[in-house]
Amino acid sequence: INGFNRPHFVLIPLMAAGHTIPMIDMACLLAGHGAAVTLITTPLNAARVKATADSIHMSGDPINIVALTFPAAEFGLPEGCENLDAVPTLDLIPNFFHACAALREPLVVHLRQVPTSPSCIIADSFHPWAHDLAVEFGVPRFMFNGFCSFSLLCRYVIYHEKILERIKEDEEQFIIPGLLHRVEISKDQCPKSIGGTVMVDFRDKMMAAEALADGVVINSFDELEPEYVAAFGKATGKTVMTIGPMLLCNEEDAAKTGRGNQSAIDEERCLSWLDGRRPGSVVYVSFGSLAKTPPEQVMEIGLGLEASNQAFVWVIKAGERSPEVEEWIERERFEERTKERGLLIRGWAPQRLILGHPAVGGFVTHCGWNSTLEGVTAGVPMATWPHFAEQFLNERLVVEILKIGVSVGVKKATMFVKDGRKDGAEPAAVRREEVERAVRRLMEEDGEGKEVRERARVMGEKARKAMKEGGSSHLNLNRLVRFARERERAQ
Ligand code: UDP
């Protein structure tokens, strides 16, 4: 017993924006539900983590943020490489995960020193070593990996039925067996963590650790994908707790920040720009934190947006601002040409602030689950442009199952790498005409667009309800805290 009347959750996120941000939200939610919370990070990530956590006004006690020294150099990583988005080349990604595993020992030392011993560990599935940690402390462990239930189930079925071993061609489409809906996908579009040829051992380790977890925490809500929440629980035999959208941990405050990073644009300027637009008339275009769009593709997007005649907010992230891109913007006088209806953000965007503004009526997204859920919560329809990981699966959920989005029609996965070009599809896989068409379909006021828009709006309402007192996710959070408390008492 940790000596307190509250269970103590130790949260171990993967150091990548899309994995860490939801865990910060989770930390705030658990604290708000009466738990003590320790969040593990590293020195270079600590400031970002702290700023994000501080920006959320919590009803519980502050979160204890612990920064463990990250052994980058020992594992052949460049100095300062403490986040997945800082890994310079694909072949160094395994090194990054191995360096993460080396955090176990210092973490054990830390947890032995503090007065409140852990009562439950929630670790990202990229930290299979968390299994041994939980065993060492004799506490339950929940897995979290940022996927929705639908994608988790697809990944589970594809892996355990060894489907990819039977598929010869990378681009051959196959049907995922046993699902309620007919879902087709190719090997190339599957998460590399199940379909890739690198890191096979690591993947098996991850899946083995997942099989041993006491339960799974999912950033989703029952009303979004009820059949798949149930089916995933049934397939794995695990306790599944949907506790999202976690971004609603404190709606007002969380929306005010750049989440994870300082915004590259003055937030007031951004808001007043949006204030001057008609409700539902602006399309927001952003591809998350990891995907690096090559220069030619950036230019096609810009030209497609211009041709669509829609008002837009377009994010060109720091890693995409190559001299070529900057030169093109200058030469074409792109900002000047589109200034009447376009806002370009170079760097980190205050995404939730933008999506939550009534002027925004559509979201062109890479289907990272956080972005997708942010779109769902805002009640805006999406144009889906998946890049890698489970994004193609998320696209199927959004477009084919929930019917709250339209597909841009991307067939081939691209990998994230620093210079945005290696190992991916052709430099500009989506031509400007296709961008234009997707934006028009998404934003049209009649026909297909209207129905998609209405379904998206209704789903946004359900998302909010799930997180309110008595809502499905709110109840699950209570269950999670109760579970940890009871396990602790039983010890
Ligand atoms: N994000 C943001 N501003 C940006 C880019 C991303 O606030 O300019 C946030 C976004 O709101 C989301 C997260 O970063 O919460 C990205 O996670 P996601 O799962 O969508 O994609 P990933 O970055 O993992 O590919």
- Quote ipTM for the complex: 0.99
289 CA to middle of ligand 1, Å?
5
> Distance between CA atoms of 296 and 427, rounded to whole angstroms?
6
Best mutation site among 52, 370, 394 for ligand 1 pocket (most ligand atoms within 8 Å of CB): 370
Element (H, E) at 363: strand 360-365
- Mean of the pLDDT values across residues 56-69? 82
256 CA to middle of ligand 1, Å?
15
Per-residue model confidence (pLDDT) at position 417: 55
Per-residue model confidence (pLDDT) at position 416: 60
5 CA to middle of ligand 1, Å?
36
167 CA to middle of ligand 1, Å?
32
Per-residue model confidence (pLDDT) at position 419: 47
Per-residue model confidence (pLDDT) at position 426: 54
68 CA to middle of ligand 1, Å?
24
- Mean of the pLDDT values across residues 152-161? 96
In terms of phi and psi (left: phi > 0; alpha: psi -120 to 50; beta: otherwise), the region of 309 is left
Residue % of the chain over a pLDDT of 90: 79
- Mean of the pLDDT values across residues 296-302? 95
For the stretch 142-145, contacts whose Cβ atoms lie closer than 8 Å and that sit 24 or more positions apart, written own/partner, are 142/213, 142/214, 142/215, 142/216, 142/217, 142/241, 142/480, 143/209, 143/210, 143/213, 143/215, 143/216, 143/217, 144/22, 144/23, 144/26, 144/216, 144/217, 144/218, 144/219, 145/19
Give residue 381's Cα distance to chain centre.
Answer: 18
212's tokens: 């041993």
Ligand 1: residues whose CB is within 6 Å?
17-18, 21, 258-260, 286, 288-291, 315, 317, 348-349, 351-352, 368-371, 374
Residue 226 has pLDDT above 90, yes or no: yes
385 CA to middle of ligand 1, Å?
14
Helix (H, G, I), strand (E, B) or coil at 165: helix
Confidence band for 141, pLDDT divided at 50, 70 and 90:
very high
Per-residue model confidence (pLDDT) at position 300: 96
> Distance between CA atoms of 234 and 112, rounded to whole angstroms?
36
Per-residue model confidence (pLDDT) at position 4: 57
Inter-axis angle of helices 17-32 and 472-490, to 10 degrees? 70
- List, in order, residues 6 or more apart from 221 with CB less than 8 Å away: 242, 244, 245, 462, 463, 466, 467, 471, 472, 473
Residue 72 has pLDDT above 50, yes or no: yes
477 CA to middle of ligand 1, Å?
24
Per-residue model confidence (pLDDT) at position 429: 87
Residue 28 has pLDDT above 80, yes or no: yes
- Mean of the pLDDT values across residues 60-85? 93
Nearest ligand 1 atom to the CA of 391 is 25
Sign of CA dihedral 150, 155, 156, 162: positive
Per-residue model confidence (pLDDT) at position 445: 85
Confidence band for 47, pLDDT divided at 50, 70 and 90:
confident
Nearest ligand 1 atom to the CA of 355 is 11
Residue 381 has pLDDT above 90, yes or no: yes
- Mean of the pLDDT values across residues 121-148? 97
User: pLDDT tens-digit profile of 349-378?
Assistant: 999 999 999 999 999 999 999 999 999 999
Per-residue model confidence (pLDDT) at position 425: 46
- Mean of the pLDDT values across residues 236-259? 80
The answer to whether 257 and 52 have CB atoms below 8 angstroms apart is yes
Mean pLDDT is lowest, of 29-43, 66-80, 191-205, for: 191-205
Best mutation site among 352, 371, 372, 414 for ligand 1 pocket (most ligand atoms within 8 Å of CB): 371
Minimum CA distance residue for ligand 1 atom 17: 18
In terms of phi and psi (left: phi > 0; alpha: psi -120 to 50; beta: otherwise), the region of 26 is alpha
Place of tokens 């658990």: 30
Nearest ligand 1 atom to the CA of 264 is 8
Confidence band for 484, pLDDT divided at 50, 70 and 90:
very high
15 CA to middle of ligand 1, Å?
13
Helix (H, G, I), strand (E, B) or coil at 10: strand
Per-residue model confidence (pLDDT) at position 48: 83
Q: In sequence order, what are the beta bridge partners of 285?
A: 314, 364
Comparing C-alpha atoms, which of 356, 352, 348 is closest to residue 316? 348
> Distance between CA atoms of 104 and 95, rounded to whole angstroms?
15
Specify the pTM. 0.94
Minimum CA distance residue for ligand 1 atom 15: 370
Nearest ligand 1 atom to the CA of 146 is 19
Per-residue model confidence (pLDDT) at position 257: 54
Confidence band for 326, pLDDT divided at 50, 70 and 90:
very high
H-type helices in 213-294, by residue range? 226-236, 251-255, 267-275
In terms of phi and psi (left: phi > 0; alpha: psi -120 to 50; beta: otherwise), the region of 9 is beta
Helix (H, G, I), strand (E, B) or coil at 480: helix
Comparing C-alpha atoms, which of 203, 135, 129, 138 is closest to residue 164? 203
285 CA to middle of ligand 1, Å?
12
Per-residue model confidence (pLDDT) at position 227: 97
304 CA to middle of ligand 1, Å?
23
Element (H, E) at 109: helix 104-113
Per-residue model confidence (pLDDT) at position 25: 93
Comparing C-alpha atoms, which of 173, 171, 175, 195 is closest to residue 183? 175
The answer to whether 147 and 218 have CB atoms below 8 angstroms apart is yes
Cα–Cα separations (whole angstroms), residue 475 to 35, 251, 268, 290, 466: 15, 18, 36, 33, 9
Higher-confidence residue of 193 and 431: namely: 431
Minimum CA distance residue for ligand 1 atom 2: 351
Residue % of the chain over a pLDDT of 70: 93
- Mean of the pLDDT values across residues 167-179? 95
Per-residue model confidence (pLDDT) at position 335: 96
Minimum CA distance residue for ligand 1 atom 23: 289
> Distance between CA atoms of 289 and 91, rounded to whole angstroms?
19
Comparing C-alpha atoms, which of 247, 35, 10 is closest to residue 112? 10
Helix (H, G, I), strand (E, B) or coil at 124: strand
User: pLDDT tens-digit profile of 386-431?
Assistant: 999 999 999 999 999 999 999 999 999 987 654 444 444 456 789 9
- Mean of the pLDDT values across residues 189-205? 83
Using CB atoms within 10 A of its CB, is residue 321 exposed (0-12), middle (13-18) or buried (19+)? Answer: middle
